[in-house]
C-alpha cells in the first residue's frame, strides 16, 4: 500500500497520495515515514492547518528528522505561531548551521513585528468577483480585469490538488468601481489544462500567459514524465474581442518550467519565473530584453533578487519598480510580496518587504497597481476569504510624513516611537527610521495629534495644521533630553484576554508618572522609564472588568534595557461560554495524551492565575460506535481531564464537567459518512469554557 501511495506522491498527485497515506495510518498510527509524507502532501496542496497537525504528530514521535523540523517551522509560521516556529528552525540549524533558508526563516520569526508596524498604510478589501474556488493573478486591461480562476466545473481534475484546472476570465469594471459578471475569455487561450498569469504588451495587441505544456492538442512531458509550465502568447483579434493565434514562447523547454510573464514599461523587457538549471535556488526571476522582433535569452536577475527559495509572480510598474513574491527573503511566512527599486545604474536594489496588511502569514503574491500607484490588486489565500486563493483590492492611504529631532542639537533621533490619535483616541503606532523620519497613513478630514517618544528624552506632542495634513508644510517634532542621564529603560508590555488575543486600545496607567498610554493593534505598548524608580503598571479593565496591575522597577539596573510586562485582563460575564482551550484524544481512548497534558498544564496555570473563575469541561466523541458507548466514552474523557486538573491543585468547586457523546460534532462526519482520520480527530475533544466567578451571580451558558 505504501508503494502505491509513494507512486502517487512521486507523480505529484498529492491529494490522492494523502488519501492512501491516511489509510495506512489507520493500520499503524506510529509510522513516521508515512506521517511525514502525509504532512508534506498537505503542505504542497496549501492545506496549512492540516499540514501543521500532521507535522506536530510526527515531530512528537520523532523530533530529530531535519526535513520535518524545517517544514514544521514553515507551517507554524503560516499559522502565525512564530515563537514556536523559531524553536524548530533552531533545531534544524543544529543539523545544518549554514542553511540560508533556515537562517532567513529564523530571522523572520524574530522580527515579524517589524513587518506589522506599517499596518496603517493600506486599506484591503476582498474582490467582489471572487468564488469559492481559486481566483488569482489579476491583470488590469483598460476597463477590465483579467484573472485566473478554477470556478469552471470540468471533468478534468488537477491531480496535485484534486481541484478544477485554471482558466482565464475577464470582468468589466464600471465607472463607479462596480464589477460585472466574470466571463471566460474568448478565443483560443483556454485549454483543458491550466492557464494563468497573463500580461499584455505595451502596444496592447499581444498577451503572454502561462499554460501547462500543451499546444495543438498535444501534451509535453519532461524526463520524469511531469508536465511543466510554459509561456505562450496570443494576438488580439481585429475586433478586439478575443485572443487568437496562440504560439509558444521561443525559450520554452520541456525539462523545466518558464512562466509568470510580466511585460515591463514601454515593452522593452519581459520578466519570467523559471526553475531552469543554473539559478540561485528553486524558482528564480529572469528578464529578456527586446531585440528587434524577438526577445533575447533569459538572464537571471542575480542574488540581490533571487534566493535559495522561490521567487515568482513578477510585475513591473510604469516607474520601473519590480514587485514579486518570495519565500526566500525574510517575511511573515509562506510567500510575501516584495518591491525592488532601481538604482542610478539601472540595477535593482535590495528588495523591501511590503509589510502588513499587503503580506500575511499565508501566501500573498501577484500584486499589480492601477495608474498612479495608489490602488491595485493582489492575490492571497489569507484567512477570511471566500476559499482557496482570492483576489483583494487595496488602496494606499494618504501618507503623513515628518521628522523627529533633538531639540538642542537639531540632529535626527533614530527610531523614535510615534503615537497617532484621532480625536484623542489612539489610532495607531509606528516607529521612525534610523534618520528620524516617519510616515503614517491617515484618513481624510480627521483631526490628528501625534506624540513622539524615545528613551532618554521627554515626550513631545504636536497637533498638525491643515496645511501639514495636506502635505504642504513639513511636520517636525523636537525632543528634549531628560534631566537624568545614565542608562535608558523602556517598558515593553502587552494586554491580552483569556484566549491570549491582544486587546487593542486598552488604556494602561503607569503609576509614578501618572501617565495613561494605549495599546496598539497588537495589544502592545511601550514608554520610557526613569532610572532607580519603582513603577506600578495598571491595565485598566473598565466596564466591570477589574484592573490588572504589575510592579516593575529600574532599581539596581546599570545598563539600558527593555523591561517586559504582560497584563492579562480577567474575563468578564461577556466572556461566558467562550472556549479558551481544547484537548484531543486518540480513537476509542480517554487517557490523556502527551500533547493534551501540555494543554492541561496551561489550563491549570491559567486557573492559578485567576483563582476565582469557574471552568466547565465538555467532552465529545466522533460518530463511530454506538450512541450508548460514545456517551459513556465522553463521560470518561470528561472525568479524566477533570481528575488531571484536580491532581494539579485546582479546587473541585471551580470545575464542572459534562459529556455529550457524538451529539455535538464540529463537522458533518456523522453516522454513515466516510471521513478521514484527521476529520474524526476534531470531534474527539474536551472543550474548556469560562463560566463565571466563585461567589458571583449564576451564569447561564449562551448556547
Give pLDDT tens digits for 126-159: 888 899 888 999 999 888 999 999 887 664 555 5
Read off the DSSP letter of residue 575. Answer: G
Examine the pLDDT at 475 and tell me if it is beyond 50. yes
Give pLDDT, residue 326: 95
What share of the chain in percent tops pLDDT 70? 91
CATH of the domain spanning 573-693: 3.30.1330.60
Examine the pLDDT at 217 and tell me if it is beyond 90.
Answer: no
Greater confidence (368 vs 502) lies with 368
pLDDT beyond 60 at 295 = yes
pLDDT score for 491: 81
**For residue 465, what pLDDT is reported?**
87
The reported pLDDT for the residue numbered 220 is 46
Closest CA to 405 of 396, 394, 416, 395: 416
Domain 2-116 is found in CATH 3.30.70.2700: no
Q: Which residues, listed in sequence order, are joined to residue 481 by a DSSP beta bridge?
A: 457
Q: Is the pLDDT of residue 562 over 90?
A: no
Rounded CA-CA distance 679/681 in Å is 5
Q: What is the mean pLDDT of residues 403-417?
A: 91
Domain boundaries, the chain: 2-116, 122-396, 399-479, 489-568, 573-693
Rounded CA separation 152/145 (Å): 18
Looking at residue 697, its pLDDT comes to: 38
Most confident of the ranges 15-29, 111-125, 269-283: 269-283
pLDDT at 512 over 80: no
Q: What is the mean pLDDT of residues 157-182?
A: 78
pLDDT for 400 equals: 86
Is the pLDDT at 644 greater than 90, yes or no?
yes
Secondary structure letter of residue 389 according to DSSP: S
Rg of the chain over all Cα atoms, to the nearest angstrom: 28
pLDDT(550) > 90: no
Mean pLDDT value of segment 262-283: 92
Confidence of residue 566 (pLDDT cuts 50, 70, 90): confident
Q: State in Å, rounded, how far the first CA of the chain is from the last one.
A: 45
SS3 labels along 230-278 = EEEEEEECCCCCCEEEEEECCCCECCECEEEEEECHHHCEEEEEECCCC
pLDDT for residue 474 = 86
* pLDDT single digits (tens) 335-372: 999 999 988 888 899 999 998 889 988 899 999 998 77
Please determine, for residue 20, whether its predicted confidence score (pLDDT) is greater than 60.
Answer: yes
Give residue 226's pLDDT band: very low, low, confident or very high (50, 70, 90).
Answer: low
Q: Please say whether the structural domain 489-568 has been given the CATH code 2.60.40.1120.
A: yes
What topology does CATH give the domain 399-479? Immunoglobulin-like (2.60.40)
Say what the pLDDT of residue 513 is: 62
pLDDT tens per residue across span 597-612: 988 998 998 888 777 7
Q: Do domains 399-479 and 489-568 have the same CATH topology?
A: yes
* pLDDT score of 33: 92
Backbone angles phi, psi at 155, to 5 degrees: -75, -15
CATH H-level, domain 122-396: superfamily: TolB, C-terminal domain (2.120.10.30)
- The H or E element spanning position 9 is helix 2-10
Contact 399/440 with Cβ under 8 angstroms?
yes
Taking only the tens place, the pLDDT of each residue in 657-680 is 999 999 899 888 988 788 888 889
- Interval 257-270 mean pLDDT: 92
Q: How far is CA 340 from CA 188, 304, 314, 635, 675, in A?
A: 35, 9, 11, 59, 47
The CA-based angle 378-433-108, given to 5 degrees, is 55
Residue bearing the bigger pLDDT, 572 or 452: 452
Higher pLDDT, 115 or 686: 686
Band of residue 515 on the pLDDT scale cut at 50, 70, 90: low
Q: What is the per-residue pLDDT for 203?
A: 87
Q: Looking at residue 699, what is its pLDDT?
A: 33
Higher pLDDT, 428 or 408: 408
Residue 262 has pLDDT above 90, yes or no: yes
Least confident of 158-162, 197-201, 465-469, 517-521: 158-162
Amino acid at each position: 500500500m505504501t508503494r502505491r501511495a509513494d507512486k502517487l506522491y512521486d507523480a505529484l498527485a498529492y491529494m490522492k497520495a494523502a488519501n492512501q497515506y491516511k489509510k495506512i495510518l489507520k493500520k499503524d498510527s506510529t509510522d513516521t515515514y508515512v506521517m511525514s509524507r502525509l504532512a508534506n502532501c498537505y503542505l504542497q496542496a496549501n492545506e496549512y492547518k492540516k499540514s501543521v497537525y500532521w507535522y506536530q504528530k510526527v515531530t512528537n514521535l520523532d523530533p530529530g528528522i531535519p526535513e520535518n523540523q524545517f517544514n514544521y517551522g514553515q507551517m507554524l509560521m503560516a499559522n502565525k505561531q512564530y515563537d514556536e516556529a523559531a524553536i524548530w528552525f533552531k533545531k534544524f540549524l543544529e543539523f545544518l548551521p549554514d542553511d540560508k533558508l533556515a537562517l532567513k526563516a529564523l530571522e523572520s520569526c524574530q522580527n515579524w513585528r517589524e513587518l506589522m508596524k506599517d499596518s496603517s498604510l493600506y486599506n484591503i478589501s476582498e474582490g467582489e468577483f471572487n468564488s469559492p474556488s481559486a481566483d488569482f493573478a489579476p491583470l488590469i486591461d483598460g476597463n477590465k480585469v483579467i484573472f485566473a480562476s478554477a470556478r469552471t466545473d470540468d471533468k478534468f481534475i488537477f491531480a496535485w490538488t484534486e481541484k478544477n484546472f485554471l482558466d482565464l476570465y475577464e470582468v468589466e469594471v464600471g465607472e463607479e468601481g462596480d464589477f460585472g459578471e466574470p466571463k471566460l475569455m474568448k478565443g483560443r487561450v483556454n485549454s483543458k489544462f491550466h492557464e494563468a498569469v497573463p500580461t499584455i504588451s505595451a502596444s496592447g495587441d499581444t498577451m503572454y500567459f502561462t499554460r501547462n505544456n500543451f499546444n495543438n492538442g498535444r501534451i509535453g512531458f519532461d524526463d520524469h514524465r511531469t508536465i511543466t509550465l510554459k509561456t505562450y502568447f496570443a494576438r488580439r483579434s481585429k475586433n478586439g474581442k478575443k485572443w487568437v493565434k496562440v504560439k509558444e514562447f521561443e525559450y520554452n523547454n520541456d525539462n523545466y518550467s518558464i512562466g509568470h510573464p510580466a511585460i515591463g514599461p514601454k515593452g522593452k523587457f519581459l520578466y519570467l519565473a523559471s526553475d531552469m538549471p543554473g539559478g540561485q535556488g528553486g524558482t528564480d526571476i529572469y528578464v529578456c530584453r527586446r531585440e528587434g522582433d524577438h526577445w533575447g535569452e533569459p538572464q537571471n536577475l542575480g542574488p540581490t533578487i533571487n534566493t535559495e527559495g522561490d521567487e515568482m509572480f513578477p510585475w513591473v510598474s510604469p516607474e520601473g519598480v519590480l514587485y514579486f513574491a518570495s519565500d526566500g527573503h525574510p517575511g511573515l511566512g509562506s510567500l510575501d510580496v516584495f518591491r525592488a527599486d532601481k538604482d542610478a545604474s539601472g540595477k535593482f536594489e535590495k528588495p523591501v518587504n511590503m509589510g502588513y496588511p499587503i503580506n500575511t502569514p499565508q501566501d500573498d503574491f501577484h500584486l499589480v497597481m492601477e495608474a498612479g500607484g495608489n490602488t491595485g490588486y493582489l492575490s492571497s489565500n489569507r484567512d477570511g476569504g471566500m476559499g482557496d486563493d482570492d483576489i483583494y483590492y487595496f488602496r494606499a492611504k494618504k501618507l503623513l510624513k515628518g521628522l523627529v529631532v533633538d531639540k538642542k542639537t537639531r540632529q535626527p533621533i533614530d527610531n523614535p516611537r510615534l503615537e497617532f490619535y484621532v480625536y484623542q483616541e489612539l489610532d495607531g503606532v509606528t516607529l521612525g527610521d534610523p534618520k528620524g523620519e516617519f510616515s503614517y497613513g491617515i484618513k481624510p478630514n480627521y483631526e490628528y495629534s501625534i506624540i513622539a517618544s524615545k528613551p532618554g528624552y521627554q515626550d513631545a506632542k504636536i497637533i498638525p495644521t491643515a496645511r501639514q495634513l495636506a502635505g504642504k508644510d513639513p511636520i517636525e517634532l523636537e525632543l528634549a533630553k531628560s534631566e537624568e542621564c545614565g542608562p535608558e529603560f523602556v517598558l515593553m508590555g502587552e494586554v491580552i484576554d483569556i484566549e491570549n488575543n491582544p486587546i487593542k486600545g486598552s488604556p494602561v496607567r503607569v503609576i509614578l508618572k501618572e501617565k495613561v498610554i494605549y495599546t496598539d493593534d497588537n495589544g502592545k505598548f511601550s514608554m520610557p522609564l526613569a532610572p532607580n524608580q519603582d513603577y506600578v503598571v495598571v491595565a485598566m479593565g473598565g466596564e466591570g472588568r477589574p484592573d490588572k496591575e504589575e510592579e516593575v522597577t529600574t532599581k539596581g539596573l546599570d545598563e539600558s534595557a527593555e523591561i517586559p510586562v504582560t497584563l492579562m485582563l480577567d474575563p468578564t460575564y461577556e466572556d461566558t461560554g467562550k472556549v479558551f482551550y481544547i484537548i484531543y484524544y486518540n480513537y476509542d481512548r480517554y487517557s490523556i495524551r502527551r500533547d493534551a497534558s501540555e494543554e492541561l498544564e496551561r489550563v491549570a496555570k491559567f486557573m492559578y492565575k485567576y483563582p476565582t473563575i469557574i471552568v466547565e469541561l465538555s467532552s465529545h466523541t466522533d460518530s463511530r460506535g454506538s450512541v450508548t458507548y460514545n456517551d459513556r466514552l465522553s463521560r470518561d474523557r470528561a472525568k479524566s481531564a477533570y481528575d488531571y486538573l484536580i491532581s494539579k491543585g485546582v479546587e473541585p468547586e471551580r470545575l464542572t464537567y459534562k459529556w455529550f457523546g457524538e451529539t455535538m460534532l464540529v463537522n458533518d462526519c456523522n453516522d454513515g459518512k466516510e471521513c478521514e482520520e484527521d476529520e474524526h480527530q476534531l470531534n474527539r475533544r474536551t472543550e474548556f469554557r469560562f463560566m463565571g466567578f466563585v461567589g458571583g451571580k449564576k451564569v447561564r451558558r449562551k448556547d
